Structure 1
Amino acid sequence: MRLKALLLAGRPVCLPLVSTLALLLPTASTAAADPVPVNAAPAVVPAVQQWTGGKGRVVLADHPRVATPVDSPELRRLVEQFTGETADVTNHQISPVVDAGGNGDIVIQVDPDADFGAVLPRLRAEAYRIDTDRGLVTVTGAAQQGAVEGTRTLLQLLAGSADHRSLPVGSVVDYPNYALRGLMLDVGRRYFTPEFIRSYIRWMGYQKLNTLQLHLNDNEISPANWSTAQAAFRLRSDNPAFAGLAAADGSYTKADWDSFEDTAAAVGVTIIPEIDAPAHARAFTRFKPGIGLHKGDSDELDLSKPAATDFMKSVYAEFTPWFRGPTVGIGADEYKGPAADFKGYVNTIAPYVRSLGKQVTMWGSQKGISGGGAGYDKDITVDSWNNGWYGPQQAIADGYPKVINSNDNWLYVVPFANYYHGQGLDGKAIFDSWQPNVFSGDQSLAPQDPHLLGAMPGVWNDLVHEDYTELQVHGLIEKSLPALAQKMWSGTRAGTDYQAFLDTVRAVGQGPGTGYLPDTLGSDDVTADLALGRTTTASSTEGAKWQASNATDGLADTRWSSKRTDGEWLQVDLGSVRRVSSATLTWESAYARDYDLQVSTDGTTWTTVSQQRGRTTAGTDKLTFTPTDARYVRMQGIHRGTAYGYSLYSLDVRGAADLAAGRPATASSSETAAFTPDRAFDNNGTTRWSSDRTDDQWLQVDLGTVNTVSAATLVWEAAYARDYDLQVSTDGTTWTTVSQQRGRTTAGTDTLTFTPTDTRYVRMQGIHRGTAYGYSLYSLRLGN
């Protein structure tokens, strides 16, 4: 994944770990003209609460140590984990030691008396600080959990540094705004593999999300026939009394569950297992039809029968010993049987689960079932998911001490449905307008209300017969989870620029151990929608509901609509000049009869790349055209197809195919085994090739067959070329220079165009380096 790729880029530097104030401070003769700036706050996700910048940087030595002043079992495990992660992703062998630390060390420690700024006392255990100065990088947690959080940030700091081994001098003081920062995943209606769940736990921990609730049983909604309805319980016991209860299409053994708990403990995540009853309980009523309403022909328990409650006690008794976290969810939502029976069930099961040593959460349904919480057990945390069933203000007024924001209007995703954010939550809306205290309607609470534990968005797999994969679900979740993590941890500390926030998300990646998860936000993936989330404007909008950004928000059920005149346009800014070759426009019923697709590099001079004439119905246009450079892409309407305006569900823009992606590559040299030539052609914008530290080095790719090439994009790492030639060859022996580049002064991107040329081999031939290092390219992409 991207973090691993970035950290693999760490170039060995033959220097001790030193504060590079000595390296970076100007000489006496130039100090007045060129002072060293104070370091800006590091870009991490979520943004830190407090940063005090110094000047200069600290550079990791060739053989850094990780020191712990106290040899506690907890710190030893954390250090072993951290050294394993950094050894894996940086190619450095970091030695753990037990001492106070000295010059050249990373120090990880716990000090409850350290200064953690304005953290609330109830949140202090997760507070940490990172102090980088005097040749040391020191991570200090207020408790063990804070130390874990600090190491997640330290990994991101390394990922974000220009050379992937240096850190800015300064101090981070960081802590959460809310105690619970979670995600609920419905594995009851759809099985998710253990590999996916472990990867998600690592990804969540990397973003300081600390709670994963697994909804372990559920069933099809309103089936035609309950006897054939999909239903599943996902835990598999060896106890013969429960033989046949676990789902045949996938379940988790005790060993699977232990692996979840081990992974969670390592990255600071707590798992809340949820066993849902008395509704959504078809897996139980199928297993024991005698305990179900309507003689077992339903998904609800018949709570008038003591056997139903006794069976659920036996389920909790069997599986609760598996669970290491302090909390178990009992479900308890949307029951349609008698309200008195439901109240009696909650008042029996909640204390029973507490007798097993666990705290209890439940989905708030007291208002919808009983009109309110009178007479209910109050030693329960309420997940407030719908104001009509039980809003947060009423739950608190009724005496519940803690609530969680799981508000369905804001936070529910039903993958690929036409309701509940079927295409994923809108990350920008979350970033701009939501906080954990924000509920829909008039139910919002005060920020950091002491009754509000935090927030937990939910992913509900209602569409049990829909054909989609767990990785497609990840593609929906990834759109917004980083923004949710930001708002749950430090709120608006990231500022208001969502695009800059996304750039940080892309830079830090998904974290170590998440290689199973596709990185759909990758900025260098030529298969990605380049328009997604980008600034979009229009000549007009029909109303506030139909704004231009709806066409590029990635959501299938939002749209832009113009005024009811011909000649209206919609335009997206891709953020930088990109090589584009296709676009897909999905029209609502107010379609364009005639329009042009236009591109521009400056937003002023436009070129038409596709003319569309004579459309007669709504639908989708998939346009391809000669690859061209563009920063701006515009739909320029000519004639409307109806009496209304122009209305687009989406404008999707794709990059030109990279002819060099995945092709065999060679080079004059490679700095280490981590920076081989193939890494410049792996379609991953965070891996790289690096050469030896001499001029005249080269990087070459074999396209396999002769292709027409007319454009190249070279993305330079900090070790850039000052002067180089781009050369082509049909035989790998005779070379022709198609572009000469001279005088580059910084790292960055070169977008080269030249006369279309037939070639099989393309080479970057270095002439002079721009730094004391070699040449280093993140990518060399080729287009025709």
Structure 2
Amino acid sequence: MTSKAMSLTGKAICLLSIAATTLVLPTAVPAHAAPPANTAPPVLPAIQQWTGGSGRLVLGDQSRIVTPAGSTPQLQQLAGKVVSDATELTGLHLTAATGTAAAGDVLLKIDPAADFGAVLPALKPEAYRIDVSGGKATVTAASQQGAINGATTLLQIVVGSADHRSLPVGSAVDFPNYAVRGFMLDVGRRYFTPEFIRSYIKWMGYQKLNTLQIHLNDNEIVAPNGDWSQAKSAFRLQSDNPAFAGLAATDGVYTRADWDSFEDAAAAAGVTLVPEIDAPGHARAFTKFKPELGLNGGNSDHLDLSKPASTDFMKSVYAEFTPWFRGPNVHIGADEYDKAYVGQYKTYINTIAPYVRSLGKQVSIWGSFSTMSGGGAGYDPDLTVNSWNNGWYGPKKAIADGYDVINSNDNQLYVVPFANYYHGQGLDGQWIFNSWEPHVFPGDQTLAKQDPHLLGAMPAVWNDLVRANYTELQVHGLVEKSFPALAQKMWSGTKAGTDYQAFLNTTRAVGQGPGTAYLPDTLGSNDVASDLARGRTTTASSTEAAALQASNATDGLPDTRWGSKYTDDQWLQVDLGSVRRISTATLTWEAAYAKEYDLQVSTDGTTWTTVSQRRGLTGPTADQITFPATDARYVRMQGIKRGTAYGYSLYGIDVRGASDLAAGKPATASSSETPWLTPELAFDNNGTTRWSSERTDDQWLQVDLGSPRTVSGASLTWEAAYAKDYDLQVSTDGTTWTTVSQQRGHTAAGTNNLTFTPTDARYVRMQGIKRGTGYGYSLYSLRVS
């Protein structure tokens, strides 16, 4: 039995041994009062419609995921996936079966004639409903895609429940607001491993994001010294066809087997892959392979469209690789070509688009027609347009020209990792949650909600900085800041309410989903999810000019900056407002960067500790620094040596809290004072719930982090029944324990922030030694960093 299963009360375990499940009735109320209705279960994205009953259905290891006799193989496979996913995320050992559902079971079925509420007809295939009553649950979907969505929500409800195995009685009706809920990843400029791609597909599916566009070729924006032979470029698909030998990149490619694994993962997750092969601009990989097809004698990243061979070559590329692609759509790129050749460009579009359709695919394109031609007149009419820039081709103009559009607006939805433009530190999830939906564009281009020609939205990561040193997991850290909010606003808009912190609690409770262990979860706490320095009081030793004031470094704007006087010994300091537990800071330098500086922290603004010494920097960059979790109210950049003759100049300083490795993880304890003050409540990211032990000194609370992690701190928030003396202990196997912090002589409840030598641990335990009151031990939370 897993630690999660062991955390059930003895009564629940006893009942589960008798039957597959039990209904846990609500707390007794006076006879004249009706039991309270269950509120909508917190899931991501939020459910469109909910009608609550009372009580809960508790699943046990004898519960089954049942599909009706005669169900499709795909539906039966989905039932098996629910079983394996539940085991991975909750420890439940369900089984898949065919036939009739009994008490304690979940029935998974497809019925297009069922009532799916106010869903738009075009979106009905993704709709589903969940009905929990009469001792069992039923997931009814309009199609296989709807069944995947319903099964995902069912799993999230169970994962997010306090006992990790129950469902509230009630009925949910759910469906999306938009057909395309996407994300685009530029792998042309930077290789991302197959493991990363598969993990992202699974992560997206868990949030009901249903479209992943993979940008398969590109090059650096400007050739070094104008010499394109020195430019970095790549095409990421590797064919066995000798005609394409030498086309594939040498620093990372995807074979047919790799791509098949992406498609398999996508089918299971309800995600559609949109491969993008970009031409006639951004085409250095092709002009390098065949220089005779490039402009300027091949010294270019543009194909020479005056040569029919250029178009013929691109036809051969699409003919070679389109059979790899199982989805209905292929993206042909076609952005940012030299408008001096607009006639040839138009001919190319009008030739390639129907050719790709002849291969059995619909065609998408980056919106460029306003800049190229003043509009879409004369272009192939059967295209889907990613509206990425209002000037190049805004959504209103594209729709007026007859096209369906996807919102990929650069001003709002582009991330260029660690650049000083296009959200180099990631999109602001709180702004997305509060102010954005797919119909929102900058300026006067906002559309009506659910405009029939607006298919949805697709934020994008562009790896412009091809020579910068960062990893795919660092990119994930940027993307994760806004992904949940984007998923929410694309699926059900404002149904999650207006409380962003409550929304983040839901995100943490449901987790990242099955098969995503490769992706670090950086949303483990509120502090991680937001920039603690944003808008805080910021001071400096000097300012170069009135317009370059210290507060510019914490205003969140990418184009304002602080600049110091032209001497080495200068500093910038931010007051976080209160003591916070932090572990990451990112300093985004303007051209006047620091060659050497210290990052310092302080709890009182007087005594400073250096947490990182930065030496030998060679140019302006977004310098991300990770250090052992530490308590700080003040954070300071202390300049030591300038990198230029000017002063120090920062676009921004971003400070993040230490992630809570224990959030939502399985918990056990030596005892619980009552059946409702159970161990997992100390790890549910809810400051009003708590665990409480029996009233003896030798009691403990333990959390399983899921895998060995390097830990260096903990934060324990005590209820009135606090510990006077206790040890914090760690273990790699749950058997042999090491004390990393001895706490003695506490005299009151509150929060104890502990720091210790970094050590590897899978299990962390509060071992009580002496109580501070006549009651037991009671913790609102035990956070691990």
TM-score by length of 2: 0.76
Other-structure match for 2:181 = 181
User: Given that residues 533 and 654 in structure 2 are in contact (C-alpha distance below 8 angstroms), is that contact kept between their aligned partners in structure 1?
Assistant: no
For 1:8 and 1:385, the matched residues in 2 are separated by 51
Letter of the aligned partner of 2:283 in structure 1? A
Other-structure match for 2:357 = 354
Other-structure match for 1:413 = 415
User: Given that residues 18 and 134 in structure 1 are in contact (C-alpha distance below 8 angstroms), is that contact kept between their aligned partners in structure 2?
Assistant: no
CA deviation after TM superposition for structure 1 residue 488, in Å: 0.7
Other-structure match for 2:219 = 219
CA deviation after TM superposition for structure 1 residue 504, in Å: 1.8
Greater Cα shift, 81-90 or 254-263: 81-90
2:316 to 314, 317, 320: 314
Other-structure match for 2:492 = 490
For 2:126 and 2:548, the matched residues in 1 are separated by 40
Other-structure match for 2:744 = 738
For 1:92 and 1:543, the matched residues in 2 are separated by 62
For 2:547 and 2:208, the matched residues in 1 are separated by 35
Other-structure match for 1:551 = 554
Q: How does 1:133-282 map to 2 (within 5 A)?
A: 133-223=133-223, 224=225, 225-282=227-284
CA deviation after TM superposition for structure 1 residue 372, in Å: 1.4
| Identity across matched positions, percent | 57
For 1:582 and 1:378, the matched residues in 2 are separated by 49
Q: Which string of whole-angstrom CA distances, capped at 9 and with x for unpartnered residues, describes residues 714-764 of structure 1?
A: 479xxx99786633599999x99835899xxxxxx963489x9xxxx9962
Q: Which string of whole-angstrom CA distances, capped at 9 and with x for unpartnered residues, describes residues 245-277 of structure 1?
A: 100111100000000000000011000001111
> Does residue 330 of the first structure (1) align with residue 336 of the second (2)?
no
Q: How does 1:607-756 map to 2 (within 5 A)?
A: 610=607, 649-650=652-653, 652=655, 696-698=698-700, 713-714=715-716, 726-727=725-726, 738=744, 751-752=751-752
Change (3 A) 1:466 1:26: same
Letter of the aligned partner of 2:394 in structure 1? G
CA deviation after TM superposition for structure 1 residue 345, in Å: 0.8
Q: Which string of whole-angstrom CA distances, capped at 9 and with x for unpartnered residues, describes residues 117-155 of structure 1?
A: 111001011111111222112211111101101111122
Q: Which string of whole-angstrom CA distances, capped at 9 and with x for unpartnered residues, describes residues 681-711 of structure 1?
A: 9x9989xxx999997554699xxxxxxxxx9
For 1:586 and 1:421, the matched residues in 2 are separated by 11
1:431 to 416, 430, 433: 433
For 2:135 and 2:366, the matched residues in 1 are separated by 51
> Does residue 107 of the first structure (1) align with residue 107 of the second (2)?
yes
1:290 to 273, 282, 292: 292
User: Given that residues 332 and 365 in structure 2 are in contact (C-alpha distance below 8 angstroms), is that contact kept between their aligned partners in structure 1?
Assistant: yes
Give SS of 1:13's match. Answer: helix
Give SS of 1:84's match. Answer: helix
CA deviation after TM superposition for structure 1 residue 441, in Å: 1.8
User: Given that residues 693 and 775 in structure 1 are in contact (C-alpha distance below 8 angstroms), is that contact kept between their aligned partners in structure 2?
Assistant: no
Give SS of 1:472's match. Answer: helix
Other-structure match for 2:395 = 392
Letter of the aligned partner of 1:58 in structure 2? L
Give SS of 1:79's match. Answer: helix
Other-structure match for 1:371 = 374
For 1:289 and 1:250, the matched residues in 2 are separated by 22
Change (3 A) 1:523 1:393: same
CA deviation after TM superposition for structure 1 residue 89, in Å: 2.4
Give SS of 1:320's match. Answer: helix
CA deviation after TM superposition for structure 1 residue 499, in Å: 2.1
Letter of the aligned partner of 2:457 in structure 1? A
Q: Which string of whole-angstrom CA distances, capped at 9 and with x for unpartnered residues, describes residues 16-40 of structure 1?
A: 47887663241556x64xx642222
User: Given that residues 428 and 482 in structure 2 are in contact (C-alpha distance below 8 angstroms), is that contact kept between their aligned partners in structure 1?
Assistant: yes
For 2:423 and 2:331, the matched residues in 1 are separated by 24
User: Given that residues 427 and 483 in structure 1 are in contact (C-alpha distance below 8 angstroms), is that contact kept between their aligned partners in structure 2?
Assistant: yes
Letter of the aligned partner of 1:201 in structure 2? I
Other-structure match for 2:343 = 340
Letter of the aligned partner of 1:243 in structure 2? A
For 1:36 and 1:547, the matched residues in 2 are separated by 56
Letter of the aligned partner of 2:726 in structure 1? Q
Structure 1 unmatched runs, 5+:
562-568, 590-595, 600-606, 613-618, 636-645, 672-678, 702-710, 743-748
Q: Which string of whole-angstrom CA distances, capped at 9 and with x for unpartnered residues, describes residues 578-629 of structure 1?
A: 567999999999xxxxxx9997xxxxxxx666489xxxxxx99x9999976x
Greater Cα shift, 251-260 or 463-472: 463-472
Other-structure match for 2:57 = 58
For 2:651 and 2:3, the matched residues in 1 are separated by 37
Change (3 A) 1:653 1:261: closer
For 1:72 and 1:139, the matched residues in 2 are separated by 15
Give SS of 2:164's match. Answer: coil
Give SS of 1:176's match. Answer: coil
CA deviation after TM superposition for structure 1 residue 172, in Å: 1.4
Letter of the aligned partner of 2:380 in structure 1? D
CA deviation after TM superposition for structure 1 residue 649, in Å: 3.8
Change (3 A) 1:332 1:651: closer
Q: Which string of whole-angstrom CA distances, capped at 9 and with x for unpartnered residues, describes residues 398-457 of structure 1?
A: 222x11111111111111111111111111121111110111221121110101111111
Give SS of 1:66's match. Answer: strand
Other-structure match for 1:474 = 476
Change (3 A) 1:476 1:75: same
Change (3 A) 1:441 1:307: same
Other-structure match for 1:706 = none
Q: How does 1:506-585 map to 2 (within 5 A)?
A: 506-523=508-525, 532=531, 551=554, 572=576
Change (3 A) 1:327 1:740: same
User: Given that residues 65 and 96 in structure 2 are in contact (C-alpha distance below 8 angstroms), is that contact kept between their aligned partners in structure 1?
Assistant: yes
For 1:656 and 1:306, the matched residues in 2 are separated by 56
User: Given that residues 712 and 751 in structure 1 are in contact (C-alpha distance below 8 angstroms), is that contact kept between their aligned partners in structure 2?
Assistant: no
Give SS of 1:139's match. Answer: strand
For 1:722 and 1:441, the matched residues in 2 are separated by 55
User: Given that residues 200 and 516 in structure 2 are in contact (C-alpha distance below 8 angstroms), is that contact kept between their aligned partners in structure 1?
Assistant: yes
For 1:274 and 1:422, the matched residues in 2 are separated by 23
CA deviation after TM superposition for structure 1 residue 765, in Å: 3.1
CA deviation after TM superposition for structure 1 residue 190, in Å: 0.7
For 1:625 and 1:284, the matched residues in 2 are separated by 46
Change (3 A) 1:774 1:113: farther
For 1:624 and 1:230, the matched residues in 2 are separated by 33
Q: How does 1:31-110 map to 2 (within 5 A)?
A: 32=33, 36-70=35-69, 71-110=71-110
Letter of the aligned partner of 1:324 in structure 2? R
User: Given that residues 7 and 163 in structure 2 are in contact (C-alpha distance below 8 angstroms), is that contact kept between their aligned partners in structure 1?
Assistant: yes
Letter of the aligned partner of 2:89 in structure 1? V
For 2:249 and 2:523, the matched residues in 1 are separated by 34
Structure 2 unmatched runs, 5+:
540-544, 564-572, 593-599, 610-621, 637-648, 673-679, 704-712, 730-736, 757-763
Other-structure match for 2:641 = none
For 2:231 and 2:651, the matched residues in 1 are separated by 38
User: Given that residues 276 and 330 in structure 1 are in contact (C-alpha distance below 8 angstroms), is that contact kept between their aligned partners in structure 2?
Assistant: yes
CA RMSD of the aligned region, Å? 5.0
For 1:334 and 1:301, the matched residues in 2 are separated by 12
Change (3 A) 1:281 1:116: same
Give SS of 2:192's match. Answer: coil
Letter of the aligned partner of 1:321 in structure 2? P
Give SS of 1:338's match. Answer: helix
Other-structure match for 1:128 = 128
User: Given that residues 90 and 159 in structure 2 are in contact (C-alpha distance below 8 angstroms), is that contact kept between their aligned partners in structure 1?
Assistant: no
Change (3 A) 1:23 1:559: farther
Other-structure match for 1:24 = 26
